[in-house]
Amino acid sequence: MKESKSLHEKTVIVALDAADQRQALALADTLDPSRCRLKVGKELFTAAGPAVVEALQAKQFEVFLDLKFHDIPNTVAGACRVVRALGVWMLTVHASGGRAMMQAAREAVGEDVNLVGVTVLTSLDAEALRATGVERPLEAQVSALAADACHAGLDGVVCSAHEAERLRAALGPAPLLVTPGIRPAGVDAGDQARVMTPARAVAAGASYLVVGRAITQASDPARALDDIIQSLEVS
């Protein structure tokens, strides 16, 4: 799905890292679907399945289904056809699955879903990436996978905000750059190795910011979301 959007228009994607549907829906009820989108990841989807996606959509939220498919092309294509029927807004596959896999995913979801390729997980730093057997420097690996994803017809990539400026310069204005590891100033990095504040990430070229605990664990999630959006509007 190719889309044009105004800067900061629902730029924030709130990661619903909840253990069950009841908890996820309770959190969703504190947020405004005109102000953000919601991300459903592996834990929540494994616990609740497609029903949680449908329940969030019934509340007028657009859903980013972050399942990071990585398998042989035929298997990924089959899974993507099921996701297409769910009507989600965005879906992830691993760019390291190869161009044939990404092309199969693209064909399976058509233009109905924003399809983005995960480059290098933001929990990995250069040393951790080398330990997996990847000899290229982290930045070079991210750039290579991002270029491959775009050549395969994907709408963009998931990357650290630290790579956003370089990727935006290399790939141009069209690809979506979805950046997890976003932490407002003063918020602990947790298990993320490469983090950045919301305003800096947007300035670097990020299209969408994935924010989890800074919102979901706040005493007032709606206020925490509004504070982040306001920080973007004044940046």
Q: Residue 70 is encoded by which pair of tokens?
A: 């990585």
Long-range contacts of 218-224 (CB under 8 A, 24+ apart): 220/30, 221/14, 221/27, 221/30, 221/31, 222/30, 222/31, 222/32
Cα distance between residue 95 and residue 117, in whole Å: 5
State yes or no: is 2 an active-site residue: no
Tell me how many degrees the CA angle 1-103-82 measures, rounded to the nearest 5. Answer: 65
Catalytic, out of 2, 42, 59, 68:
68
CA 162 → CA 11, 29, 62, distances in Å?
17, 32, 26
Give the angle 100-144-68 at the CA atoms, nearest 5°. Answer: 55
Question: Which residues are identified as catalytic?
Answer: 68
